Structure 1
Amino acid sequence: MKEIIQQYLEKYGFEALCPKAVLFDMDGVLYDSMPNHAVAWQRSMATFGIEMTASDAYATEGARGVDTIRMMVKKQQGRDIDEQEAQRMYDEKTRQFHLMPEAPIMPGVLELMKQIKDCGLQIGVVTGSGQRPLIQRLLNDFKNYLAEEHITTAYDVKRGKPNPDPYLAGLKKAGNLKSYEAIVVENAPLGVRAGVAAKIFTVAVNTGPLPDESLIKEGANLLFADMPSFNLQWNHLFHQIYDLR
């Protein structure tokens, strides 16, 4: 693990990795919600004549919903639609999603957050969603670890993942931190690409059906099979980081 951290530092010319915050993605990381999202995407887009598969939903996870819709419409119908039309379509996706059963908190997350807090680090969330009910649920479920001012949503940026903007906004909300002062936790290729583009040490947790390679090729610094595995390794990672300082 020390070698991986050292490679990260050398890549960007940083002297040390000095984490003050951990920035979590939401869907597929904090909640086991991606199966619900996949169904909601398929059902809602079908009403607009757009074929969207479960694989499409996982592959585009992390991007702003309106950006995904504009891309799919252009690809399948050859039309350029504005953000307002895309938002109306996304509203239907939101409606379908809220008809689904409530997604459970991802196993291992609460334990991991407790360890992070005990280490004196701040916790933030960087999500491509902007749905108020989901933000309120975050605040209810993680009230001991998360404050609203540390949540970055689709409405905080003009360019969503895979651009670095969401995680750069997350750094700003965490107290104008530098890239080497945070750790990103992601489960999706576009999210990993965004974290890496922001030059943040990025941990991928493969909680979905995509192959590990889809996360590794985007530049993930570390890869875990699930959140409990990352939870078990947190203290080791934290001490390895500080051994190199």
Structure 2
Amino acid sequence: MRAAESPIRAVLFDFDGVIVNSMPGHARAWVRIFAEKGLDITEEDVYLHEGRPTVDVAHVFLSRHGLPAEKQHCRALAAHKQAYYLSKPGGVVIFPEIVPIIESVVGRGIAAAVVTGSNDEVVRRTLPKKLRSFFSAFVTADDIKKGKPDPEPWLKAAEKLAVQPKACLVVENAPLGIQAARAAGMRALAITTTLQPEHLQGAEAVARNFDELARLIESRLNGEH
């Protein structure tokens, strides 16, 4: 551990794409909803905006294509997208490899939190009760005024855990979440569940799989990096 860095007291996990393999479902939902409006967006377009609250994602794409992007339009589109996403059963599974990582973190006495651009309903319907019990705090789109890339979600989690931001380690899979973590004064690791490493260069290290991620987290909890 470099002298300027504090020991890690909390690990903050993004939700979609880190804990749950849900991003393909979210991306397909957005592609479908915008196709209904005659707009062509790709799944990668969605991945690059992952982490934003659903209403903010709607605003980005509506504005980009010159369509009305007032709050009422964005909220209506976001509600339509969420209804479509939640109507597709069996499309979301927990990454099984993340479970022992979370267990290991908590087993060391390190606090863990979930920080996500999804809302409470999505998290509640997706995350099994047993896995929820490992987390000391949750921050969803319903808890914040500004979503990623603003640092507010990460700072809110640190506040809930009563941990200084500089003592938090973030685990992300999207560039906006990494940007937000760095703006919050936190360290960040990334995993390539949805995007290639070139999109994740803001993180201090990028894991290509969960075994690598486990080693990266362990080394930082041990003060080796």
TM > 0.5: yes
Q: How does 1:68-217 map to 2 (within 5 A)?
A: 68-82=57-71, 84-100=72-88, 101-138=90-127, 140-147=129-136, 150-175=137-162, 177-208=163-194, 210-216=195-201
Deviation, structure 1 residue 118: 1.5
TM-score where L is the length of structure 1: 0.84
Q: Higher helix share goes to which structure?
A: 1
**Quick check: 2:173–2:190 contact (8 Å CA) kept in 1?**
yes
Query: In structure 1, the residue corresponding to 2:200 is in which secondary structure?
Result: helix
CA distance in 2, matches of 1:154, 1:25: 12
The aligned counterpart of 2:221 is 238
Go from structure 1 to structure 2 and tell me whether the alpha carbon gap of 1:78 and 1:98 turns closer, same or farther (over 3 Å shift): closer
**Quick check: 2:8–2:220 contact (8 Å CA) kept in 1?**
no
CA distance in 2, matches of 1:222, 1:113: 18
Extract unaligned runs of 5+ from structure 2: none
Q: Deviations over 1:153-177 (max 9, x none)?
A: 11221111011111111111112x2
Deviation, structure 1 residue 75: 1.2
The aligned counterpart of 1:223 is 206
Go from structure 1 to structure 2 and tell me whether the alpha carbon gap of 1:234 and 1:80 turns closer, same or farther (over 3 Å shift): closer
CA distance in 2, matches of 1:39, 1:124: 27
CA distance in 2, matches of 1:161, 1:192: 9
CA distance in 2, matches of 1:35, 1:133: 15
Deviation, structure 1 residue 141: 4.7
Extract unaligned runs of 5+ from structure 1: 10-14
Query: In structure 1, the residue corresponding to 2:60 is in which secondary structure?
Result: helix
Deviation, structure 1 residue 91: 1.0
Between 22-31 and 229-238, the greater mean CA deviation after superposition: 229-238
CA distance in 2, matches of 1:133, 1:211: 26
TM-score where L is the length of structure 2: 0.91
Deviation, structure 1 residue 107: 3.1
Query: In structure 1, the residue corresponding to 2:113 is in which secondary structure?
Result: strand
**Quick check: 1:29–1:227 contact (8 Å CA) kept in 2?**
no
Query: In structure 1, the residue corresponding to 2:156 is in which secondary structure?
Result: helix
**Quick check: 1:64–1:161 contact (8 Å CA) kept in 2?**
yes
Structure 1 runs, 4 residues or longer, greater than 6 Å off = none
Between 114-123 and 93-102, the greater mean CA deviation after superposition: 93-102
CA distance in 2, matches of 1:114, 1:205: 18
Kindly indicate whether residue 5 of structure 2 is the aligned counterpart of residue 20 of structure 1. no
CA distance in 1, matches of 2:218, 2:196: 27
Residue-pair matches, total:
224
Alignment RMSD = 1.9
- Which AA in structure 1 matches 2:213? F
Deviation, structure 1 residue 143: 3.3
Query: In structure 2, the residue corresponding to 1:19 is in which secondary structure?
Result: coil
